[in-house]
Structure 1
Amino acid sequence: MSSPAQKPGSPLLAVDGGMLVATLLALAGYLLPWFRKGDGYAWSFSGWAYASLSDGGGWTLLTFGWLLVAGGAALLARGSTAAAMTGVVAAVGTLVTSLAVVAASFAVVGEQTALNPVAQLPFDVGLPVLAAGLGLLLATSCRAIVRGEAHGRGGPDAPGRPPANMS
């Protein structure tokens, strides 16, 4: 027996490699350093820095939850349109929570004397990698949805199909 969003006979584990790579890229970007307060600071703002705080990462850990959902969706997305749609939701969830963490980090930097304080911060590779990973995750999740619909995995009541009780 198959679930409504899964084509009969399709494997349970149908990994979408693009989504999985994108999820890992976004995770790497979240964990890598984003920026420091200044050249003399050893501590860098990053998801890893927040997660490894002695009192825990608190709400910043939500980003890891979204990435875990995205990884799970990637494992099923080639066989299930619902899993691919879950990947889109996880990509947006990751984007929102990581954006909140980065924005909170900028707020901690505080007022500076330069006209453009963000341009003066020592940036690292984390933010560009995070952006690339999230963009790729969103794109590959959308591609998986389109692929699923094109191959008829949208379920019996998918848009454009007659309801299951009609032929």
Structure 2
Amino acid sequence: MTCPETPRVPSQRTPAGLCAMPLVLRAVVCPGLTVPVAARLRYDSSEPYAVYLDNHTDLHEPITWMFARDLLAAGVDAWAGLGDVSVYPGTGASPQTLFIALGGENGTVVLRAEAAAVRTFLAATERMVPSGTERLHVDLDGLLLQLLDDRPPDPGR
């Protein structure tokens, strides 16, 4: 994992305020059959409420999902989320597992992650922006300027 507080070597450092953790998820195809998916969890303190999950598939660019950091944190211990993203812990023989269900127009995929790795990632984000202080890290002036700007949005942003 690369985060400002815990760099392993200088070449792995991320810019201040950014945190990234590569991991291998397992896509649950059917009971007893999973497929590995290279992935990365990302956090940016300038968007303190969100986490990003990049899924590196056979496509040229990764498929990226953005959802609430609170959702991921809550899902470590109990079912969390309605709609497109749900996170829930494994039970029975797999309590060390965390499931992330991602749904869309073309169906739903259930990804299996190591709960300990996700907890480590969340702890790093918590050191960067403690829960409850997110509002202090949001550029409200910049958001207001964007809302009040009469120009059409830049598609490159």
TM-score by length of 2: 0.33
- Higher normalized strand content (fraction of residues): 2
Structure with bigger RCO (C-alpha 8 Å, 6+ apart): 1
Larger Rg: 1
